[in-house]
Amino acid sequence: MTDLVQFTKDNGIAVITINNPPVNALSPGVPEGISEALDQIAQDDTVKAVVLIGGGRTFVAGADIKEFGRMASGKPRGAGLLPLLLKIEDSSKPVIVAIHGTAFGGGLELAMAGHYRVALSSAQVGQPEVKLGLIPGAAGTQRLPRLAGVARAVEMCTSGNPVKAEEALKFGIVDRLIEDDLLAGAVAFAREVAGKCAPKTRERDEKLGNVADNVQIFSSARETAAKKQCGLIAPVAAISAVEAATKMPFEEGCKVEQKLFIDCLFSQQSKSLIHVFFSEREVNKIPDIPKETPIIPVKSAAVVGAGTMGGGIAMVLANAGLPVLLKEADQAALDRGLATIQLNYANSVKRGRFPQQVAEERLKRITPTLTYDDFSSVDLVIEAVFEGLALKKEIFKELDRVCKPGAILASNTSTLSIDEIASSTSRPDFVIGTHFFSPANVMRLLEIVRGKASSKEVIATCMQLSKSLGKVGVLVGNCRGFVGNRMFGPYRREAQFLVEEGAGIEDVDQALSGFGMAMGPLATGDLAGLDVGWRIRKEYRHLEVPGIRQPFAEDRLCELGRYGQKTGAGWYKYDDQRRATPDPLVTELVRKWVDEAGIVQRQISAGEITDRCLYALINEGARILEEGYALRASDIDIIYLNGYGFPAHRGGPMWYADTVGLKQVCDRVFEFHRQHGEIWRPAPLLKRLADEGKRFADFGKEEGAAA
Selected range binding ligand 3H9 among 17-25, 392-400, 402-410, 616-624, rule: CB under 6 A: 17-25
Q: Cβ of residue 294: shortest distance to ligand 3H9, in angstroms?
A: 20
DSSP 607-642: HHHHHHHHHHHHHHHHHHHHHTSBS-HHHHHHHHHH
**d(C-alpha 126, C-alpha 162), whole Å:** 4
Binding flag, residue 102, ligand 3H9 (CB under 6 A): yes
Binding flag, residue 253, ligand 3H9 (CB under 6 A): no
Binding flag, residue 463, ligand 3H9 (CB under 6 A): no
Binding flag, residue 65, ligand 3H9 (CB under 6 A): yes
Give the angle subtended at the CA of 631 by the CAs of 630 and 637, to the nearest 5°.
Answer: 65
* Residue of 15, 16, 25, 239 interacting with ligand 3H9 (CB under 6 A): 25
Grouping H, G, I as helix, E, B as strand and the rest as coil, residue 394 is: helix
- Closest CB to ligand 3H9 among residues 66, 579: 66
**d(C-alpha 108, C-alpha 162), whole Å:** 11
Distances (CA, A) of 53 to 8, 93, 170, 195: 12, 16, 22, 20
* Residue of 89, 129, 379, 500 interacting with ligand 3H9 (CB under 6 A): 129
User: In sequence order, which residues have a C-beta less than 8 Å from that of residue 158 and are 6 or more positions away?
Assistant: 130, 221, 224, 225, 229, 235, 238, 239
H and E: helices and strands count for the chain? 29, 19
* Residue of 3, 11, 22, 212 interacting with ligand 3H9 (CB under 6 A): 22
Binding flag, residue 616, ligand 3H9 (CB under 6 A): no
Selected range binding ligand 3H9 among 133-141, 228-236, 469-477, 676-684, rule: CB under 6 A: 133-141
Catalytic residue among 36, 67, 129, 223: 129
Q: Which amino acid is at 88?
A: I
Binding flag, residue 499, ligand 3H9 (CB under 6 A): no
Regarding beta strands 301-304 and 380-383, do their DSSP bridges make them parallel or antiparallel, or are they unpaired? parallel
User: Does 179 participate in catalysis according to the annotation?
Assistant: no
* Residue of 9, 66, 255, 401 interacting with ligand 3H9 (CB under 6 A): 66
Grouping H, G, I as helix, E, B as strand and the rest as coil, residue 258 is: helix
Count the residues of the shown chain that bind ligand 3H9, applying the rule CB under 6 A. 24
Catalytic residue among 109, 243, 501, 626: 109
Selected range binding ligand 3H9 among 57-65, 432-440, 525-533, 605-613, rule: CB under 6 A: 57-65
Phi-psi region of 47 (alpha: psi -120 to 50; beta: other; left: phi over 0): beta
Selected range binding ligand 3H9 among 10-18, 136-144, 286-294, 532-540, rule: CB under 6 A: 136-144
Selected range binding ligand 3H9 among 58-66, 374-382, 448-456, 523-531, rule: CB under 6 A: 58-66
Binding flag, residue 578, ligand 3H9 (CB under 6 A): no
- Closest CB to ligand 3H9 among residues 144, 381: 144
Grouping H, G, I as helix, E, B as strand and the rest as coil, residue 370 is: coil
The string over 596-631, giving b where at least 16 C-beta atoms fall within 10 Å of a residue's C-beta and e elsewhere, is: eeebeeeebeeebbbbbbbbbbbbbbbbbbbeebbb
* Residue of 132, 144, 553, 586 interacting with ligand 3H9 (CB under 6 A): 132
**d(C-alpha 94, C-alpha 262), whole Å:** 32
User: Does 109 participate in catalysis according to the annotation?
Assistant: yes
Quick check: 81 and 89 in contact, CB under 8 A? no
Quick check: 640 and 516 in contact, CB under 8 A? no
* Residue of 7, 13, 54, 104 interacting with ligand 3H9 (CB under 6 A): 104
Order of all β-strands in the sheet with 431-436: 366-369, 324-327, 301-304, 380-383, 408-411, 431-436, 445-449, 472-476
Binding flag, residue 130, ligand 3H9 (CB under 6 A): no
Scanning 160-228, the segments in alpha helix (DSSP H) are: 165-171, 182-193, 211-228
Q: Cβ of residue 667: shortest distance to ligand 3H9, in angstroms?
A: 35
DSSP single-letter state for residue 416: S
Q: Cβ of residue 103: shortest distance to ligand 3H9, in angstroms?
A: 10
Q: Cβ of residue 68: shortest distance to ligand 3H9, in angstroms?
A: 8
Binding flag, residue 273, ligand 3H9 (CB under 6 A): no
Which residues of this protein are in contact with ligand 3H9, per CB under 6 A?
22-23, 25, 61-66, 81, 102, 104-106, 109, 128-129, 132, 134, 136-138, 140, 281
Catalytic positions are 109, 129
